[in-house]
């Protein structure tokens, strides 16, 4: 079992930055690929970014060049640095862990409770 707790969400103006954190406990963090997803009201949960166990990362086209995913194995924590935020980035952001390096929701076995990010125009 892996427990995930996100933090760092909040309200920010367009063009601003936020850094989300996801603290993992339970089984060894480095055994899993980690992903960030987001879900806006009335919409499906969408892929944002993922990082493999070896540090390879992939991003959704909508965030490429603005968001950066990184991991700290010593702290069992994965981060999502979000720059140049836009109102359309407003959503609940979820951290996830799974055995596969993937952009698919169903590839992840463990999920956090989510953290709200609101970007005002």
d(CA 53, CA 105): 17
Is the CB of residue 26 less than 8 Å from the CB of residue 1? yes
**Is a pLDDT exceeding 90 seen at residue 1?**
no
Averaged confidence pLDDT in the chain = 95
**Is a pLDDT exceeding 90 seen at residue 40?**
yes
Q: Residue 34 CB: number of other CB atoms within 10 A?
A: 30
Q: Residue 104 CB: number of other CB atoms within 10 A?
A: 12
């Amino acid at each position: 079992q892996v427990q995930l707790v996100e933090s760092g969400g909040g309200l920010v103006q367009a063009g601003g930055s936020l850094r989300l954190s996801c603290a993992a406990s339970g089984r060894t963090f480095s055994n899993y690929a980690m992903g960030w997803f987001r879900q806006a009201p009335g919409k499906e949960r969408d892929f944002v970014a993922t990082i493999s166990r070896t540090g390879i990362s992939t991003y959704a086209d909508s965030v490429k060049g603005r968001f950066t995913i990184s991991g700290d194995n010593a702290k069992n924590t994965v981060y999502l640095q979000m720059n140049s935020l836009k109102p359309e980035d407003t959503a609940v952001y979820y951290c996830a862990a799974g055995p596969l390096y993937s952009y698919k929701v169903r590839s992840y076995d463990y999920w956090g409770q989510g953290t709200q990010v609101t970007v005002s125009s």
